[in-house]
Structure 1
Amino acid sequence: MPTFRETILIALHARLSALPATSLRGEVLPERIPVAGLLILRDGDPGEPEVTLSPLAYHYQHRAEIEAVVQGTDRDAALDRLSAGIGTALADDRTLGGLCDWIEAEAPQPVDLPVEGATSLKAAVIPVVLHYSTADPLS
């Protein structure tokens, strides 16, 4: 049975998988980028929790990352559409079905990646903050 943290990351990946872009989790960048783009969810860092004692609860602001990658002649517009799609997907359910107290994306951090002998890639790292509480830091 997956931990609560893993369940949240699975739910986030499922939400990203509903987008037209190919969605992976924790994978390396493949040699070919799909026409609709590529999303790679990185588990990120749960950070140090705030703790309440009665009842005992650990409150996390877990920072996951989504790597968004596009290729083609209209890279800037494609990355913009992909980023907007991620924003819409997250805004549709800010609690991931009640698993989180709140999720929010931060501004994308774009970069151009040259590819020898091919059209360069346009990529962005989009931090996503997952606010949730659990009774055990290992559950």
Structure 2
Amino acid sequence: MATKRETALAALHAALQLGLGGLAIGIERGAPVPTEISADGLVILRDGQPGEPEVTMSPLAYHYEHRAEIEIYAQDADDDARATAFDDLVAAVGAVIAANRTLGGAVLWAEAEAPEPQDLPVTGGAAIKAATIAVVLHYSTSDPLV
């Protein structure tokens, strides 16, 4: 039996795979920091932190605002092409979340926060534009361990 936390994260990962599957990018979960990025980019889902829940007592329930992280990477020698690929990935992730705010019923609500892009130089290679998008997953459970 999967925990509510794992159900929420798996649903987000599945939504990203389904919604971004038409793009020629890698979509991974918990992968190590990339050494190579496909021409169209890379998306990595990190589990993030569930944070401290709000607790209601009758009936007992723990209400989480779990902050998962989606890392986005775009790499190209051309600055404009890199910026466009990055922007396309950010917009695509936003569209995936906006199209299914409950992630098929796995969460009460999913909401993305704005990314903070940064350019990463690569010695002997094309620069990388990267960002982390926090996605707040709202869910409730009767036990913090299930």
- Relative to the length of structure 1, the TM-score reads 0.97
Q: Does 1:91 align with 2:95?
A: no
Instruction: Report sequence identity in percent.
Output: 59
3-state SS of paired residue (2:38): coil
| Gapped regions of structure 2 (runs ≥ 5) | none
Which residue identity is paired with 2:72?
A
1:1-139 alignment runs, 5 A limit = 1-18=1-18, 19=20, 20=23, 21-72=25-76, 73=78, 74-139=81-146
* Distance in 2 of aligned mates of 1:17 and 1:99: 16
The offset of 1:82, in angstroms, is 0.3
* Distance in 2 of aligned mates of 1:42 and 1:92: 21
* Distance in 1 of aligned mates of 2:126 and 2:40: 15
3-state SS of paired residue (2:102): coil
* Distance in 2 of aligned mates of 1:58 and 1:128: 19
Cα shift readout 1:4-61 (whole Å, capped 9, x = no counterpart): 1101101101111120221111111232101221001110010000000111100000
The offset of 1:137, in angstroms, is 0.2
Q: Please identify runs of 4+ aligned residues in structure 1 that moved more than 6 A.
A: none
3-state SS of paired residue (1:109): coil
Alignment length, in residue pairs? 139
* Distance in 2 of aligned mates of 1:80 and 1:108: 10
| Gapped regions of structure 1 (runs ≥ 5) | none
The offset of 1:75, in angstroms, is 1.0
- Relative to the length of structure 2, the TM-score reads 0.92
